[in-house]
């Protein structure tokens, strides 16, 4: 097995490079992605190697970035667009919801909306406002879209390639706070399908489910809990829409206790959906109501106090205590 150690940023870069090598119709488009390599350097060096026609520096207009990618898709191109930060995706919301999500249907299947919308999401990098948001639920709610998130360099490398090859439009959420963390990447074998959830740590007492940057936080919480005699299973959802409920339900059937972790506020969130679905599927196995540990229902705070907003190990363990407490 040929594995190599790299950051998630580098893994995404290598995944994009491989996809562009394999298929000449793959284009990249976004603000500052050429010479600069993107503000996070995810596309570093790609314009130099693939040219300005395939790695397109876009004028500063997100609706146009997505809207022209739609036109390119109709022409048979597969464009991976980079939204510079989560909080900048809203100007493109109309194109994503009205066109990207619906044109396959509206053309009776003639148009393939094979495009990937990469969004660096979630907080944790000490940024100013509009740079740390979690907009995934807006897209998960929209029929016609699929939403995924990577949590490791290996997943980043493979999931970006799988997303590009997929014939449906994919909202690809990248946990920006994990861009610079290293991990092993298997360059030969893809670990699993794009929409499969995975158990990252096995446990017996409580199931933690989350995605993106929350996965590492959940693993830390599990480690701490094990020292206190609580065995936690950690599930990385990976696919936010559709959810891999089979893997999640199998875990919950075993533990009977559920805590979902997300940075988005919990009203009408992906976490709400996970709790609702699993309550229905696993009703007779539940030993406690499913809880959500989320961002608070306030605009994302100034980043000097973001650690109090984002789900922390302590807040996760508090929820673990509460679901464990239902037993006694």
Partner 1 sequence: MIDEQLVQLLTPEGERVAHAQYVSTLSGEEVFAMYRDMVITRRICNEGTSMQRQGQLALWAPVQGQEAAQIGAGRALGPQDFVFPTYREHGIAWCRGIPPRDWFRVFRAVSTGGWDPQKYRYSVPTVVLGNQALHAVGYAMGVQRDGSEEAVMACFGDGASSQGDVLESFVWAASFNAPVVFFCQNNQWGISSPSSLQSKIPLYHRAQGFGFPGIRVDGNDVLAVYEVTKRALENARVGGGPTMVEAFTYRMGAHTTSDDPTRYRVDAEVEVWKHRDPVERVKALLAREYRVKNVTFDEVAAEADALALELRDDVLAMGRPDPMTMFDNAYAAPHPLVDEGRSEMIALGVSGGPH
Per the omega criterion (within 30 degrees of 0), is the bond before 205 cis? Answer: no
Give the 3-state secondary structure of residue 7. Answer: strand
Lay out the site mask for partner 1 across 149-168 (x = CB under 8 A, - = otherwise). -----------------xxx
Is 131 one of the catalytic residues? yes
Q: List the alpha helices (DSSP H) in the chain.
A: 8-22, 46-50, 62-74, 93-94, 103-106, 136-140, 153-165, 214-227, 245-255, 270-281, 306-309, 313-325
Nearer to partner 1 among residue 158 and residue 195 (C-beta): 195
Closest approach of partner 1 to the CB of residue 241, in Å? 8
Lay out the site mask for partner 1 across 14-53 (x = CB under 8 A, - = otherwise). -------------x-------------------------x
Q: Which residues inside 50-109 make contact with partner 1, applying CB under 8 A?
A: 53, 56, 59, 61, 63-64, 66-77, 91, 94-95, 98-99, 102-109
54, two tokens:
């395939």
- Nearest CA-CA partner of 296 in 280, 307, 281: 307
Nearer to partner 1 among residue 49 and residue 314 (C-beta): 49
The catalytic residue among 131, 166, 266, 297 is: 131
Nearer to partner 1 among residue 56 and residue 264 (C-beta): 56
Closest approach of partner 1 to the CB of residue 23, in Å? 13
3-state SS track over 249-305: HHHHHHHCCEEEEEEEECCCCHHHHHHHHHHHHCHHHCCCCCEEEEECCCCCCCHHH
Nearer to partner 1 among residue 82 and residue 205 (C-beta): 82
Q: Which of residues 1, 2, 143, 305 is near partner 1 by CB under 8 A?
A: 143
Nearer to partner 1 among residue 283 and residue 304 (C-beta): 283
Neighbour tally for 94: CB within 10 Å: 13
Cα angle, residue 178 at apex, residues 184 and 138 outer, rounded to 5°: 120
Instruction: Give yes or no for residue 258 binding partner 1 (CB under 8 A).
Output: no
Residue ranges in contact with partner 1 by CB under 8 A: 27, 53, 56, 59, 61, 63-64, 66-77, 91, 94-95, 98-99, 102-114, 143-144, 146, 166-168, 242, 245
């Amino acid at each position: 097995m040929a594995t190599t150690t790299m950051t998630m940023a580098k893994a995404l870069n290598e995944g994009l490079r491989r996809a562009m090598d394999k298929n000449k119709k793959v284009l990249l488009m976004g603000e500052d992605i050429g010479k600069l390599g993107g503000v996070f350097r995810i596309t570093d060096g790609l314009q130099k190697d693939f040219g300005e026609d395939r790695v397109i520096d876009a004028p500063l207009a997100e609706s146009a970035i997505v809207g022209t990618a739609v036109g390119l898709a109709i022409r048979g191109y597969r464009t991976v667009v980079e939204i510079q930060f989560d909080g900048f995706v809203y100007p493109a919301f109309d194109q994503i919801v009205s066109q990207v999500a619906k044109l396959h249907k509206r053309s009776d299947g003639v148009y393939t909306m094979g495009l990937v919308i990469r969004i660096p999401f979630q907080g944790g990098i000490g940024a100013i406002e509009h740079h740390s948001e979690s907009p995934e639920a807006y897209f998960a709610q929209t029929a016609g879209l699929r939403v995924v998130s990577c949590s490791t360099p290996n997943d980043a490398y493979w999931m970006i390639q799988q997303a590009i090859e997929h014939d449906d439009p994919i909202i690809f959420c990248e946990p920006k706070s994990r861009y610079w963390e290293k991990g092993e990447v298997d360059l030969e074998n893809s670990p699993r399908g794009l929409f499969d959830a995975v158990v990252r740590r096995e446990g017996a007492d409580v199931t933690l489910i989350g995605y993106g940057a929350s996965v590492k936080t959940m693993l830390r919480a599990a480690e701490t809990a094990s020292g206190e005699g609580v065995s936690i299973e950690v599930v990385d959802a990976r696919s936010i829409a559709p959810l891999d409920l089979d893997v999640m339900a199998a875990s919950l059937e075993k533990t009977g206790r559920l805590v979902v972790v997300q940075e988005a506020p919990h009203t009408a969130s992906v976490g709400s959906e996970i709790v609702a679905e699993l309550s229905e599927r696993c009703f007779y196995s539940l030993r406690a109501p499913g809880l959500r540990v989320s961002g608070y229902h306030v605009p994302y705070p100034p980043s000097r106090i973001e650690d109090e907003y984002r789900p922390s190990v302590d807040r996760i363990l508090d929820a673990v205590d509460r679901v464990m407490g239902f037993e006694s």
